[in-house]
Amino acid sequence: MSMPKTLQSLTLCSLMLMLAACTPTVQVAVPNEPITINLNVKIKHEILIKVDKEIDNLLEENSQLF
């Protein structure tokens, strides 16, 4: 009970197509916009330190306030 050659070749071709369809592909793409890093936290921290120092200086100069 062997299959005819055309049926064997057709089965082989369909198996190869099914295997080729299942192969994973990996694509690496460049982003459209440049990558930006937000540094607001660091800048805010520096501003708070400067404000705290200024408040300390004002309190030292005007110790009568409290």
Which token pair is 33? Answer: 């916009």
Query: Residue 52: its pLDDT value, please?
Result: 80
DSSP percent split of the chain into helix, strand, coil, nearest 5: 65, 0, 35
pTM: 0.30
pLDDT for the residue 3: 65
The string of pLDDT tens digits covering residues 14-37 is 888 877 766 677 888 888 998 888
Mean local confidence (pLDDT), 39-65: 73
Q: What is the mean pLDDT of residues 34-41?
A: 77
Could you tell me how many residues make up the chain?
66
Residue 66: partners with Cβ closer than 8 Å, 6 or more residues away? 59
Of 47, 35, 66, 34, nearest in space to 58 by CA: 66
